[in-house]
Structure 1
Amino acid sequence: MIRSEPVGDDRAGIGAIKSAKRVLEVLELFAERREALGVGDVVEALGYPQSSTSTLLRSLVQLHYLHYDPATRKFLPTMRVALLGSWIHDRLFTSTSLNALMEGLHRATGYTVLLGMQNDIYVQYIHLISGTLGEWYIKPGSLRPLCRAAVGKILLARKPDVEVLGLLRRINAEETSAENRIRPNDLFEDLNRIRRDGYAWTEGAVIPTNGVVAIELPTPPSQPPMAIGIGAANSRVRAERDRLLSLLREAVHPYVQSRPAPSL
């Protein structure tokens, strides 16, 4: 007997395929247009219902695949999208891509290289290369406390104190362990040092045995702020902090003055 209508799990499967298809079509549309697009632009180009288009685009913003500009009410892909396939490009061509930058830091140190951006009250590692020493494994997409991780502190240091205080209140409210709550004075002392020196350094702040040194990765206004760091065992980071910091600064130096996005 041939079924003419999908039922049960078949409908769920078809729905999942339809959703995946729409995500890819939206990303392909951005690749074709090479400009920021509003909900209406996507609806007109792809013929989707406006309500589901708006929901889809905002979901991609929450996942940090799109950036939303409230002033223009338009969306633009983030570098997280570009990183999905950048490794293929890097295999075929010599480039100064962000992925190549991170690979270079990894080759020079053997340590874990982390790229993060803010996701609400957390820092999310949108791309990373695990160290060769097996000391530390982090899954891409992992979330860490914004005010404790070195990469997160770099992002906080860019913000006005009023905004930082609001985030800290929310972070402390979510923290179930009283000993992990951070006092405002302690955080601002740390952030002021980061603003002065241009880097963050933590030991055992998230994982007791591991430390990270991090700096800001210059990005254009169309992209969310990002930070890049190198992580390893506390003793290694402590002993090699100056060298790791020098490598990080050298790696991002080509982008500091003009602050463009690394080519992808």
Structure 2
Amino acid sequence: MAGQDSVKTAARTLDLLEIFAKARAPLSLTEIAQRINAPISSCHSLVRTLQSRGYVYILDHRKRVYPTKRLLTIAQAIARHDPLLEKLTPILEGLMKATGETVLLGKRQGDQITYLEVIEGSHIVRYTSSPGDLKPLHSSAIGKSLLGQMEAAELAALLARLKLPRVTENTVTDAKALTEELDASRARGWYQTLGENIVDVMAISISRHLLDETLGVALAGPIARMQQNRDAYLAHLMEVGAAFDSLAAELRGL
């Protein structure tokens, strides 16, 4: 029970911090409790602990709570020394500047994809997401690019147990059809989604091995613009793949 309580406390702490990003304003204990669906007594203990560690402060007026910048400072220090991102971010930023589209870097975590980096495009109308967002393997371009790296038997076993929910009306939910698409995409060297994760968004992706990790890189944007510029975008994406390969060779030689 102690372990379960610790996990619940950790989840509530993260929930508490995340609601401030949505609220964008100080909140009372009652408002916090309602938004994270937790007892006021539990929220009071969490707030007191976070306050004692310098992560939140209490406004004297109406006793409302708001985070300090301590969490931001720690997050920035962590991000600056990410063993993958400090080397890959300049390459990803170059891809965004060359295309104007949103660039995504992702890694498989269990049965999902986690975005490690998101560099939003420069177009007014663009795809938006955030680092840490989770996406399904079968309906995301990065997910498909990583599935495409698997051996046939391993892939078949995964798809046999993996649920393939319909995220949009365009999502491929049949394991056989998905396998055939992955085979064709592997042969041409890149993968795509066409309104399968978000109805009006198209994404193209490749995957590469780096530091014993398999990573996926994708470009995402509105379907019409992505289709119109697909060949040019693919050329830039393949240049990123070559840059990843060169970096991987350099790191192996160190």
TM-score (norm 1): 0.60
Give yes or no for the alignment of 1:244 onto 2:239. Answer: no
Residue 157 to residue 129, structure 1, CA distance change in 2 (3 Å):
same
1:200–1:214 CA contact under 8 A, matched in 2: yes
Residue 98 to residue 208, structure 1, CA distance change in 2 (3 Å):
same
Give yes or no for the alignment of 1:106 onto 2:96. Answer: yes
Q: State the 1:98 CA deviation.
A: 0.7
Which residue identity lines up with residue 80 of structure 2 in the other structure? Answer: G
Which residue identity lines up with residue 125 of structure 1 in the other structure? Answer: Y
Residue 242 to residue 235, structure 1, CA distance change in 2 (3 Å):
same
Out of 154, 176, 184, the position equivalent to 2:145 is 154
Higher RCO, 1 or 2 (CA under 8 Å, sep at least 6)?
Answer: 1
> In the aligned structure 1, how far is the partner of 2:245 from the partner of 2:171?
35
Which residue identity lines up with residue 123 of structure 1 in the other structure? Answer: I
Q: Deviations over 1:207-255 (max 9, x none)?
A: 010100111133132x3x1110111111111111111111011123133
Q: State the 1:167 CA deviation.
A: 2.6
Q: State the 1:112 CA deviation.
A: 0.5
Find the residue that maps to 1:113 and give its secondary structure: strand
TM-score (norm 2): 0.62
Find the residue that maps to 2:248 and give its secondary structure: coil
Give the gaps of 5 or more residues in structure 2: 1-41, 55-75
Residue 18 to residue 120, structure 1, CA distance change in 2 (3 Å):
farther
Q: State the 1:115 CA deviation.
A: 0.5
Which residue identity lines up with residue 233 of structure 2 in the other structure? Answer: L
Out of 136, 140, 153, the position equivalent to 1:145 is 136
- Name 1:119's counterpart in structure 2: 109
Matches within 5 A, 1:65-76: none
Residue 205 to residue 19, structure 1, CA distance change in 2 (3 Å):
farther
Residue 15 to residue 83, structure 1, CA distance change in 2 (3 Å):
closer
Q: State the 1:196 CA deviation.
A: 0.9
Q: Deviations over 1:190-210 (max 9, x none)?
A: 111122111002210100101
- Name 1:205's counterpart in structure 2: 196
Residue 82 to residue 98, structure 1, CA distance change in 2 (3 Å):
farther
Find the residue that maps to 2:162 and give its secondary structure: helix
Out of 210, 224, 248, the position equivalent to 1:259 is 248
Question: CA RMSD, aligned part only?
Answer: 3.6
Residue 182 to residue 256, structure 1, CA distance change in 2 (3 Å):
same
- Name 2:216's counterpart in structure 1: 227
Give yes or no for the alignment of 1:129 onto 2:124. Answer: no
Find the residue that maps to 1:97 and give its secondary structure: helix
Residue 19 to residue 229, structure 1, CA distance change in 2 (3 Å):
farther
Q: State the 1:181 CA deviation.
A: 6.5
1:112–1:128 CA contact under 8 A, matched in 2: yes
1:218–1:261 CA contact under 8 A, matched in 2: no
Q: How many residues align?
A: 189
Which residue identity lines up with residue 243 of structure 2 in the other structure? Answer: P
Out of 68, 80, 84, the position equivalent to 1:85 is 80
> In the aligned structure 1, how far is the partner of 2:47 from the partner of 2:249?
41
> In the aligned structure 2, how far is the partner of 1:143 from the partner of 1:196?
27
Q: State the 1:177 CA deviation.
A: 9.4
Percent of paired sites with the same residue:
24
- Name 2:209's counterpart in structure 1: 218
- Name 1:43's counterpart in structure 2: none
Give the gaps of 5 or more residues in structure 1: 1-7, 21-80, 91-95
Residue 175 to residue 109, structure 1, CA distance change in 2 (3 Å):
closer
